[in-house]
Amino acid sequence: MKLLSSKERYRTKIFRVTHDKAVDPDGFTIERDIVRHSGSAVMLAVDSRRRILLVRQYRLPARANLWELPAGRLDSGEKPLDAAKRELREETGYTARRWEKLLEFYPSPGYVGEKMTVFLVRELTAGPSEQMDDERITMEWFPPGQLDRMIRRGEILDGKTIAGYLAWRQWKRG
Ligand SMILES: [Mg+2]
């Protein structure tokens, strides 16, 4: 596909909306309003007892409190791994010695350009967190059996959490 035009329609601190047109050599065209986003890093932190760290916060789009893997937006030009280390420390206070890329995905590719990169994080050390003014976050460690049940019961509704956790369960068992 060849991009013919991309016009900004709206801009916020977190994302931009553009109206894009593209065409392929056969003349097939696509025209969409697109949420442009710098991408997110997602941290699947596992402690020495194989428990997973989740955070809970009120999510206005969902009109609900959600349990999620810690995550944050990439600053402009920032690499996913650097953002993951910064966001884990800011949001939860944890630093870690072992970082491994687990999964990359587009959570909603029909109209959102945001790509998510999930990192498996191990050998953690607790420290003070630096939450932003608009973040009010509680943290808790969950054993895998409990997370399996929460997903099956619909008690975890956040897509990056389900995808990252199930990838870890599938690929990193034992
Ligand atoms: Mg966050």
Tell me what percent of the chain is helix, strand and coil, each rounded to the nearest 5. 20, 45, 35
pLDDT mean across residues, the chain: 95
CA of 61 to the centre of ligand 1 (A): 14
Averaged pLDDT, 146-169? 98
CA of 70 to the centre of ligand 1 (A): 6
- Per-residue pLDDT of 22-43, as tens digits, reads 999 999 999 999 999 999 999 9
Q: What pLDDT sits at residue 134?
A: 72
Q: What pLDDT sits at residue 172?
A: 86
Averaged pLDDT, 77-82? 97
CA of 7 to the centre of ligand 1 (A): 28
Averaged pLDDT, 121-149? 90
CA of 72 to the centre of ligand 1 (A): 4
- Is pLDDT at 173 greater than 80 in this prediction? no
Provide the whole-model pTM. Answer: 0.93
Averaged pLDDT, 53-69? 97
CA of 71 to the centre of ligand 1 (A): 4
* Distant-in-sequence, close-in-space partners of 109: CB < 8 Å, separation ≥ 6: none
CA of 30 to the centre of ligand 1 (A): 32
- pLDDT band for 137, please (50, 70, 90 cuts): confident
Residue intervals in the chain for CATH 3.90.79.10: 40-171
Q: What pLDDT sits at residue 32?
A: 96
- Is pLDDT at 174 greater than 70 in this prediction? no
Q: Which CATH architecture has domain 40-171?
A: Alpha-Beta Complex (3.90)
CA of 66 to the centre of ligand 1 (A): 12
